[in-house]
Amino acid sequence: MSPVQTLSCWHCGAEHSAVSMPLSRHEFCRACGEALHTCRQCRFHDLRQGCSESRAEPPTNPESANFCEWFTPRLESTAAMDARGAAADSARARLEALFAPPADDSER
């Protein structure tokens, strides 16, 4: 018997409980109809950088179903990923401001 997990759709955020693993390429979101076995649903996929699994050959469309051998479903919601990305962007901006060159005071 395969393990059962809960995951959120990468597209609409709908929760899918009791999804059998390994996730089939033919598994679709019951709320929006998008494929779930996609790069966007994989834990190795970064929204900014793409696939972080060096052995994987990413497909041309990260939002379409694929046969990737390295696919491991991301169990966090899209909202959680967006919040994590926003926090990282905010931290990066604060760090850049900390090390920014001083403003030119020659206009005084």
> Higher-confidence residue: 95 or 87?
95
- By percentage, how much of the chain surpasses pLDDT 70? 81
CA distance 53 to 5: 22
Q: Is the pLDDT of residue 104 over 80?
A: no
CA distances from 104 to 94, 97, 100, 101, 108 (A): 20, 15, 12, 9, 9
Whether 42 contacts 71, CB under 8 Å: yes
> Higher-confidence residue: 13 or 87?
13
Q: Is the pTM of this model over 0.85?
A: no
Q: Is the pLDDT of residue 106 over 70?
A: no
> For the residues 36-57, what does the mean pLDDT come to?
84
Q: Is the pLDDT of residue 1 over 50?
A: no
